[in-house]
Amino acid sequence: MLKKTLIIIAVVFGIFIIAAACIPLFFKDTIVEKVKTSINNNVNAKVSFNDLDLTIISSFPKLGIQLNDLKVVGIDSFATDTLANIKSLKVNLNIMSVIKGDKYEINSVDLREPKIYARVLKSGKANWDIMKPDTTEKAPGDTTPTNFKAALKKYSIEKGNVVYDDASMNFYLAMDNLNHSGKGDFTQDLFVLDTDSEIEKLTLKYAGIPYLNGVTLKAKLPLDIDMKQMKFTLGKNQILLNELVLSLVGSLAMPNDTDMLVDVKFNAEKSDLKNFLSLIPAIYSENFKDMQATGKFGLNGFAKGTYNEQSLPAFDVDLTIENGKIKYNALPSAINDIQVKANIANPDGNLDHTTVNIPAFHLAFDKAPLDGKLIVKTPMSDPYVDMALKGTLDLKQLTTIFPLKDIKLDGILHADVMAAGNKSTIDRGNYEAFKAQGTISAKNFNYSGAQVPKPVQIPTAQMSISPRNITLSNLIAKVGKSDFNAQGTVNNYLSYVFQKGKPLQGSFSTTSNLIDVNELMGPPSATESKSADTSKLTIIEVPKNIDFKLGVKAKQLYYDNYDIKNAQGALDIKNQTVTFRNLAMDMLDGAIKMNGYYSTTDVKKPKVDVDLSIEKVSIQKAFKTFNTVKLLAPIAQYTNGIFTTNLKFNSDLGPDMMPVYSSIDASGMANIIEAVLEGFEPINKLASSLNVAELKKLELKNVLAKFKIDDGRLQIAPFDIKKNDILMNVQGSNGLDQSMDYKVAINIPRTKLGGQANEAANALLASLNSKAGTNIALGDMIKFNALVGGTIKKPTVKLDLLNNDPKGEATAIVNQVIADKKAELESKVREEATKATEKAKAEAQQKVDTLKKQAEESLKNEVKNQLNNLFKKK
């Protein structure tokens, strides 16, 4: 009997197990279809999931539905936002509701590794507002929008990351590695929800101020929920923020769609100071455990009232520190006698009625006291500030109080300043009504160490404060190898602080023995060349909202690969533009004067526009220093000497602060005072074509050339070069691609020609003699047109002698001279014949023969002279 009973039980149990395994298969298609239909009918978003699993065994007696890799992506304004990316979403359903197929009752929800990004635009539009409006007609009292019904008893979030970013309130909340669970019967109107939360990193910012920054939170909060009144009440609880224990009690109610009723109290009354310090990220670190902190810290307050778009709850927060002391175990000194009392209050929710009151605070760095106060009133309508700070700080003493690894710090800082008054007095320009005075000074300040890019030394500096300005006097400083001596004033610092967008105005004068801009900007990366002429620069952005006038004198200045001496002039900084006025400097063995500007109004496309006067600068050094010369005037590489130029230069700059060559617009006049050109392949090629070796080396003296740079090409206007008794006239252009298009007109003695050049000249004259019926010899000077093309490295030269007489000018001259001489001869013959008598016929005939012979000789000489003049003129 027992055996039969056990067999029956086993069979029943087996059937039950099989049924439990098969039931999900029977209902999977139906449930999947209803899930998709419910999503499509109710959501304005892109929703996707990789798979849907059903189970009953692990969730017994419930039916489990699990969506894997669920993603919800917004549309329209939030098309780039992923509202939710959930590793898995598991929902447990009442199995009987599934079998009946009417409404599916959800009993629990579990989220694993969810990433939630909730965002609100400045307009108030939220990315989670994705539910479609329900347009179907419903029976009275029927508010069920889908096939699913909430009958929640518990929920959980495992390893979640949640961000709430509200631009309309300037509020930001982030929870990293959130583990949270809640238990309660959501089917009831009144129930208690027990929650358990752990957050590895909690960050809370309001108006850009981080009130919590990466703190750890642990909390168990019992919450009384009244669903009819939409009221949530916190009972006795404990919240742990890092090491600080807080208590938060009270209620939150939402009676309508617009209002939130707040009534909460919080306190951390008479907690240890060390627990409060644990909230400060700079202190809460690996050194926190090695720090002693004694004294008492108190925090308590309340918030009560209505929160909506027009109002805030009233609030009052008190913070006190009594007899505080902070000391690191490994260091000899401490911050002693910390005394703070602070109150932030608002009696009625009107932000303008908020007050910040710190009537006095005191602390001592070892034995050196620091005292101050801060009072703020009417922050919205007319901010009133009353503040003061007084004390002397021995910075070397700080290294005996705080652990500063690999840092050397010493010097004395002294401050004695106060300010009191309303913003309205500044707006009216009534500076004297605003009380502001005091001094801040530094003496023998030194800051260096392994983590400090450049050591800083300030032997002395002092600032004096008055309502109208801040005066900087006797600032002597050294940063790395660079030294500065500066003085000046800032004239409207109060307007700059209180009036948004008001530029800070000032004037300063600075002198220096050495300014190394390359060092101040930081070393080049490891991938960059170490040579000076290839180091990379980055865009120097001119600061916004400043209006400064600077007078500068520097005996030596290094910038990029420029070695500059005796730099002096004026700089005006305004509207993100630096204007140079009479900026003069010695460099490249010469002198440069500059007027113009450098602008970063478009930081991605800086511009420079300058007028340059360059006096007696080394051509070779200019080639090695300026990339523009290398690319557009490569002939400079083969020229030793000095030049002077006046140059107007306008260009966009690239991210390396180098000119964008296609944007260069420049023009000027260059004067090569004295130089030698040798080894330049295009000149060598021309000399070889003419078979005149002496042209391979040209001595240049006072050579004037007008030039223009446009669209990446250097264009040269005609100019003359003389080599002994050879005269050349040069004009043309070359480009960034090193291509050339030059025409060189050459007047050269015939005796120096050889080879093809001489043969071409003789062929031309023979042709002319043949046409004119003359026998004229070529003159001493011959002109050629040399067309120079190709590239700088591979030039081409074409000699063109025939182009000297493109219109037949030489032939016309010969024919004209012959005609003139014939007419002259005939006239003289007729005159002599008329005068002759019969008696003198024989004598007259003899004279006519003589005149004919003289006319022929005159004709030959005249043609020769005219042709010579033509060649010389050409």
DSSP label of 662: G
pLDDT at residue 865 in the model: 59
Return the H-helix or E-strand segment holding 783: strand 781-790
Q: Is the pLDDT score of 302 beyond 90?
A: yes
More confident position, 453 or 489: 489
Overall average pLDDT of the 804-825 stretch:
50
Q: Give the pLDDT confidence of 586-598 residue by residue, as tens digits.
A: 999 899 999 999 9
Beta carbons within 8 Å of 581's beta carbon, 6+ residues apart = 569, 570, 571, 572, 595
Q: Give the pLDDT confidence of 14-71 residue by residue, as tens digits.
A: 444 444 444 454 455 565 666 666 666 667 778 888 777 776 545 555 677 888 888 8
The three-state DSSP-derived secondary structure of 202-221 is EEEEECCEEEEEEEEEEEEE
Look at the chain and count its residues.
Answer: 874
Return the H-helix or E-strand segment holding 416: strand 407-422
Reference 238, options 247, 229, 230; nearest CA is 247
Q: Give the pLDDT confidence of 468-513 residue by residue, as tens digits.
A: 889 998 899 999 999 999 999 998 888 888 877 788 899 999 999 9
Q: What is the band of 461 on the pLDDT scale with cuts at 50, 70, 90?
A: very high
Using an 8 Å Cβ cutoff, are 814 and 859 in contact? no
Beta carbons within 8 Å of 222's beta carbon, 6+ residues apart = 192, 193, 194, 195, 234, 235, 236, 237
Q: Give the pLDDT confidence of 214-247 residue by residue, as tens digits.
A: 889 999 888 898 888 889 898 888 888 888 888 8
Q: Is 332 helix (H, G, I), strand (E, B) or coil?
A: coil
Measuring CA to CA, how many Å separate 228 from each of 153, 187, 189, 606, 643?
Answer: 18, 12, 6, 63, 92
Q: Give the pLDDT confidence of 247-274 residue by residue, as tens digits.
A: 889 999 988 888 889 999 988 866 788 8
Q: Is the pLDDT score of 579 beyond 90?
A: yes
For strands 368-377 and 515-516, give the pairing. unpaired
pLDDT at residue 45 in the model: 76
Q: What is the band of 445 on the pLDDT scale with cuts at 50, 70, 90?
A: very high
Overall average pLDDT of the 738-751 stretch:
87
Overall average pLDDT of the 747-763 stretch:
65
Residues of the chain with pLDDT > 90, as a percent, come to 31
Overall average pLDDT of the 652-663 stretch:
84
Overall average pLDDT of the 275-295 stretch:
72
Q: Is the pLDDT score of 328 beyond 50?
A: yes
Q: What is the band of 806 on the pLDDT scale with cuts at 50, 70, 90?
A: very low
pLDDT at residue 526 in the model: 40
Other beta carbons within 10 Å of 129: 12
Two tokens at 379?
């922050």
Return the H-helix or E-strand segment holding 477: strand 470-479
pLDDT at residue 449 in the model: 85
Average pLDDT taken over every residue of the chain: 80
Of 90-99, 187-196, 260-269, 374-383, the one with minimum mean pLDDT is 90-99
Beta carbons within 8 Å of 379's beta carbon, 6+ residues apart = 351, 352, 354
Q: What is the band of 631 on the pLDDT scale with cuts at 50, 70, 90?
A: confident
Q: Is the pLDDT score of 873 beyond 80?
A: no
Whole-number CA gyration radius for the chain: 47
Residue 456 CA, distance from chain mean position: 26
Whole-angstrom distance, CA of residue 253 vs CA of residue 224: 11
pLDDT at residue 853 in the model: 65
Q: Give the pLDDT confidence of 62-91 residue by residue, as tens digits.
A: 677 888 888 888 777 787 778 889 999 888
Q: How many CA atoms lie within 13 A of 489 on its CB side?
A: 8
Overall average pLDDT of the 725-730 stretch:
90
Q: What is the band of 777 on the pLDDT scale with cuts at 50, 70, 90?
A: low
Q: Is the pLDDT score of 525 beyond 60?
A: no
Residues of the chain with pLDDT > 70, as a percent, come to 76
Q: Is the pLDDT score of 283 beyond 90?
A: no
Q: Is the pTM of this model over 0.75?
A: no
Q: Is the pLDDT score of 812 beyond 90?
A: no
